[in-house]
Amino acid sequence: MNSKDCPALVLRNVCYRYPDGTRALSGVDMRVEQGERRAILGPNGAGKSTLALMLNGLFRPSSGEVEVWGRVIGPDNERWARRMVGLVFQDPDDQVFSPTVAEDLRFGPRNLGCSEEEATRRAREALRRVDLDWDTLACRPPQNLSYGQRKRVAIAGVLAMAPRVIALDEPTANLDPLAEDALLDVLDDLHGDGVTLAVVTHDVELAASWADKVTFLREGVVVADGDVRLLWDPETVARAGLRSPRWSRRREAGWPPCFPPD
Ligand code: ADP
C-alpha cells in the first residue's frame, strides 16, 4: 500500500501482560487513519496508558502486533517508530528534565543526529508552535515554569522530533480552564498541519469537544469503537464504565432552560 493511503496506526489483537502477571490489554484491535483526532477513553485501570506506550514501541505486545504507517513495529525499526510517533506523558516532569528549556528541546533532534544549528532551529520552531516565547524561556530551568508551561514544553520536545503521530496521555489533567483551552488550541493547530493525534483520557467532556473518533476501553478490552457520536449513546458509555458528556445529560433532563421564560 502507498504510504500516503495507509492508516497511521493499526493494532491487531494486541495483548499485554506486565511482568507481575497483570493482564492490561486483551485482544485490542484499533485503526487510526492519517490526520484523525482519536480519543481513547476508559475508566481508571482500563489499560489506556499501557496502550499509549504500545503506540511507538516503548512497550511491545505480549502477542499481536502494532503497525505504524504501514510497518509492523519490530526490532529492526524501533528507532524509526519512535520518530514517527511522539508520546507526551501525563506528567511533564517525567519528560522534561534538562537544566534549561533550550537544552531539553535540543535533546531529541540531537539524538536524531541533527547538527547543533538544526537542533536549535527545531527547538525554536517547536516552542513557537506551542505558543511560548523562546527569548523569555529558552534559558529558564523547566522546574521554574508553571505546570501548564511545562506541559507545553513537553509537547514542544516531542514536536522538535517532527513526528507524524502524537499520542498524549491525559493532556488536560491538572490544567486550569484557560491553560486547557490554550492546549486544545495547540492540538487544533497540529491537526490543521496534518498531524495525527491520539488522546488517552477518561475525560468525556474533552473527548466530546475535541475528537472525531473514539475507542472505548474497559478492563483491557475494546468495548466500542467509532464516531465520536457514540459518546451520546447511553448504552455504550455505560458499558464502557463512563458517563455521557454533561450537556447531553442536561438536555435529557430538560436543560438548557428557555430564556426568556415563556
Ligand atoms: P489506565 O491508564 O486506563 O488507568 P493502565 O494502563 O495504567 O490503565 O493500567 C491497566 C492495568 O495494568 C491496571 O490493572 C493496572 O493496575 C495494571 N498496571 C499498570 N502498570 C502496571 C505495572 N507497572 N505493573 C503491573 N501492573 C500494572
What pLDDT does residue 247 have?
64
pLDDT bin (cut points 50, 70, 90) of residue 251 is: low
Distance CA 213, CA 35 (A): 11
Per-residue pLDDT tens for 108-128?
999 989 999 999 999 999 999
Beta-sheet strands, E only, within 153-234 = 165-169, 196-201, 213-218, 221-227
Gap from CA of 116 to ligand 1 centroid (Å): 39
Per-residue pLDDT tens over the stretch 188-242: 999 999 999 999 999 999 999 899 999 999 999 999 999 999 998 989 999 999 9
pLDDT at 248: 57
Supply φ then ψ for residue 40, to 5 degrees: -105, 110
Q: Report the alpha-carbon distance of residue 40 to residue 57 in Å, rounded.
A: 18
Exposure class string for 95-118: b at 16+ Cβ within 10 A, else e: bbeeeebbbbbbbbbbebebeeee
Predicted pLDDT at 260: 47
pLDDT, tens digit (0-9, with 9 covering 90-100), for 37-85: 999 999 999 999 999 999 999 999 999 999 999 999 999 999 999 999 9
Contacts of 118 (CB under 8 A, 6+ apart): 109
The whole-number pLDDT of residue 81 equals: 95
**241 vs 40: CA distance, rounded Å:** 13
**Least confident range of 27-36, 118-127, 181-190:** 181-190
Q: What is the pLDDT of residues 91-102, one digit of tens each?
A: 999 989 899 999
The pLDDT value given to residue 252 = 56
The more confident residue out of 243 and 256 is 243
Confidence label for 2 from pLDDT (cuts 50, 70 and 90): low
Cβ burial of 222 (10 Å; 0-12, 13-18, 19+) is buried
Q: How confident is the model at residue 12 (pLDDT cuts 50, 70, 90)?
A: very high
Query: Of 14, 15, 16, 18, which is best to mutate to test ligand 1, by the most ligand atoms within 8 angstroms of its C-beta?
Result: 18
* Domain ranges within the chain, ordered by starting residue: 9-94+161-251
- List, in order, residues 6 or more apart from 212 with CB less than 8 Å away: 36, 37, 38, 227, 228
C-alpha cell at 117: 544549528
Q: What is the pLDDT of residue 209?
A: 87
Answer yes or no: is the C-beta of 46 below 6 A from any ligand 1 atom.
yes
Distance 207 CA to ligand 1 centre (A): 21
CA distances from 251 to 17, 102, 241, 255 (A): 41, 48, 21, 4
Q: What pLDDT is stored for residue 1 in this prediction?
A: 62
What is the arrangement of strands in the sheet containing 9-17, beginning at the earlier edge strand? 23-32, 9-17, 63-68, 71-72
Atom of ligand 1 nearest to the CA of 44: 4
Question: 176 vs 105, 209, 232, CA distance in Å?
Answer: 24, 17, 26
Domain 9-94+161-251, what architecture?
Answer: 3-Layer(aba) Sandwich (3.40)
* SS3 at position 260: coil
| Nearest atom in ligand 1 to 49's CA | 2
Ligand 1 neighbourhood includes 48 CB (under 6 angstroms):
yes
Task: Flag the least confident range among 87-96, 140-149, 225-234, 241-250.
Answer: 241-250
Q: pTM here?
A: 0.91
